[in-house]
Amino acid sequence: MTRTAEQLADVLQSEAEVSDELLKAMEKKQESLIYFKADVMADAVDRERSLLKQMRELEQERERIVADLASGVPALKGRSNGPTVSELVRYVEGNTGLRLSELAQRIKTVGHRVQQKNQQNRMLLDSSARFIKNTLRILTDDNARQLVDRTI
């Protein structure tokens, strides 16, 4: 169990690092929204997509290892939904168990920060969309006038 628990710790470490990078990419995206930098926005979105792909792959690996570890713990066998890392930590002894617990907490914390940043970015996007819509409404006299002459 120790070797597999150490593998789980390595995967969680990678997940934590990718989560940190995702948060940084989201912060860049937020900055690009605030300062209207489309090129920075495009780069940040591409980076986010790449990081999310890595997160999915790491999550699948984590779930496989957790299922493998749980199969050796009678209290966790036969459950319809797989155990969480937090539940599994109770059965891992020593420094590895402590490391797993710390990494799981770190990932949860960063996950909450990512959710908050995502919500802030959504509000900024909504605000920008309203601004553009209102600007277009003003320029077209409440859509009574065409903005572009189509005879060109």
pLDDT tens digits, one per residue of 1-36: 567 889 999 999 999 999 999 999 999 999 998 888
Q: Is the pLDDT of residue 107 over 80?
A: yes
Phi first, then psi, for residue 90 (nearest 5°) are -60, -25
The pLDDT of residue 103 is 95
- For 88, counting Cβ atoms within 10 Å of its Cβ (0-12 exposed, 13-18 middle, 19+ buried), the class is buried
Segments making up each domain of the chain, as ranges: 2-112
To the nearest whole percent, how much of the chain has pLDDT over 70? 91
- Of the pLDDT bands very low, low, confident and very high (cuts 50, 70, 90), residue 151 is low
Residue type, 23: L
- Say whether pTM exceeds 0.85: no
The pLDDT of residue 8 is 95
Collect all residues with Cβ–Cβ distance below 8 Å to 29 and sequence separation of at least 6: 40, 41, 44, 45, 48, 121
pLDDT tens digits, one per residue of 65-98: 998 888 888 887 777 677 888 888 888 888 998 9
